[in-house]
A and B are shown apart, each in its own frame.
Chain A
Amino acid sequence: MLPKNEYFGYKRQSHMEFIDYYKILELNKSATDADIKKAYRKLARKHHPDLNPNDAAAKAKFQQINEANEVLSDPEKRKKYDTYGKDWQHGEEYEKARQQQQRQYSTSGDQGYSSSTGGEDFSDYFESLFGGAGSRRGTRPKFRGQDIQAELQMSLRDAYTTHQQTIKVDKNIRLTIAAGVENGQTIKIPGHGGPGANGGPNGDLYLTFNITNDTKFKRDGNDLFATVEIDLYTALLGGELMVDTFDGKAKLTVKEETQNGTKVKLKGKGFPVYKKEGEFGDLYLTYQVKLPTNLTEEEKELFRKLANRK
């Protein structure tokens, strides 16, 4: 089992190889500003994270598209990219030369609204060539931080009780996880995503649970299922039996002439219902009658007598 503070699923994209921004926007080098805008709009509509919720591939693609647009839609950046794109290591020399020229552009933008989609999360390649992400001429200030998707692995035993857990996503976050969380369920933790820019709020953290089960109980929603072995004589004559439930033991009365495969329901002994304190599903037990082995001659004779009576 993984330690409780283990966290998987979030990995910042890193590119230190040449990135062909024209290829990303499906353009050739002679593309006009209008072509770039059109291509960006078309691809952004297809891959925008708001239109593809919980799709990490679409999000990664959108970040590439955004980065490509950031460069190609800015004449200065595009010129630099066209000249030095493949030799990005020399970007710094270009930068020194450029700084000798008087700045022609203002860096202030309008007070607009911006993407929550991680547009500021540029590749290392971009950062090497252009420096920090916030240097775009005339760009609108980023507002809300990006949403982060993460996966948290926990055991079925942990999911059974409300507990606190620390996860690490850039920083440690202590969470209370309500009992009854489902495998594959995603919860939103507001404000724990990427940091906002220019005073904007942080993004949200979306946490998906991956619940492993190493118990003998199988879970279906709030109900639990298990198999209980009973001996032939208890099945035939009835009796009492102690059985394991998820959180302890329960005494069962087995009826006479119980058939193999008979199911019994233990009401309220299943899994806790998510965010409904005190409510539980049911536990379904299936009797598996175990036939005796290594019979003595006397036992066999008794069974023969029984068989002949039928």
Chain B
Amino acid sequence: MEKEALISIQQVCTHYNIAVSFFDSLQEYGLIEVVTVEEVQFIPVNKIKELEKIWHMHDELEINLPGIEAITHLLQQMESMQEELNRLRNSLNRYREE
């Protein structure tokens, strides 16, 4: 992975006022991928939005990490089901129009 596509955890923590230990917990639950380059920990820049969502759930809604893990999994399932539903709906339209 290119270094430009990464942001250091330290930088993220300072910017968002998040404790570094929060990332340890996120890693423990497999909620975020941490990349270590020359002993510095980074996360991919494109995962920031995901991190924001997790932080919203944790900080604003007071949902604990096992809860976030379950919700994240269900949201992923929901997204793929919505895509499937959309695909089926478009297929069905073909027969409806006939």
Contacts and interface: CB of A to CB of B under 8 A. Distances in A.
Interface of A: 41, 44-45, 48, 50-51, 53-54, 110-113, 115-117, 143-144, 182-185, 204, 218-221, 225
Interface of B: 16-18, 49, 52-53, 55-57, 59-63, 71, 75, 78-79, 82, 86-87, 89-91, 93-94, 97-98
Contacts of B78: 53
B62 A41 contact: yes
B90 A219 contact: yes
Contact of A185 (B52, B86, B91, B97): B86
A44 B26 CA distance: 23
Nearest to B75: A53
A54 B86 contact: no
A45 B63 contact: yes
Nearest to B62: A41
Contact of B94 (A50, A185, A218): A218
B56 A115 contact: yes
Contacts of A220: 90-91, 94
A218 B61 contact: no
Contact of B90 (A112, A113, A183): A183
A45 B61 contact: yes
Contacts of B52: 113, 116, 144
Contact of A50 (B53, B86, B97, B98): B53
Given A48-B56, A117-B56, A221-B87, 13 more contacts: A44-B60, A51-B57, A53-B78, A111-B17, A112-B17, A113-B18, A113-B55, A116-B56, A184-B86, A204-B49, A218-B93, A219-B90, A225-B94
Contact of B61 (A41, A144, A219): A41
A44 B89 contact: no
B27 to A, nearest CB: 19
Given A50-B57, A54-B82, A113 B75 contact: no
B18 to A, nearest CB: 7
Leading 8 A-B pairs by shortest Cβ distance: A184-B86, A218-B94, A113-B16, A50-B53, A220-B94, A220-B91, A45-B61, A112-B17
B18 A218 contact: no
21 contacts: A41-B62, A48-B56, A48-B60, A50-B57, A53-B79, A110-B17, A112-B16, A113-B18, A113-B52, A113-B59, A117-B56, A144-B52, A182-B87, A183-B86, A184-B89, A184-B90, A185-B86, A218-B93, A218-B97, A218-B98, A220-B90
A247 B32 CA distance: 45
Contacts of A45: 61, 63
Contacts of B49: 204
A48 B61 contact: yes
Given A41-B62, A54-B82, A182-B86, A219 B17 contact: no
Nearest to B83: A185
A8 to B, nearest CB: 18
A53 B63 CA distance: 18
B56 A50 contact: yes
B79 A44 contact: no
Contacts of B82: 54
Contacts of A218: 93-94, 97-98
A295 B95 CA distance: 34
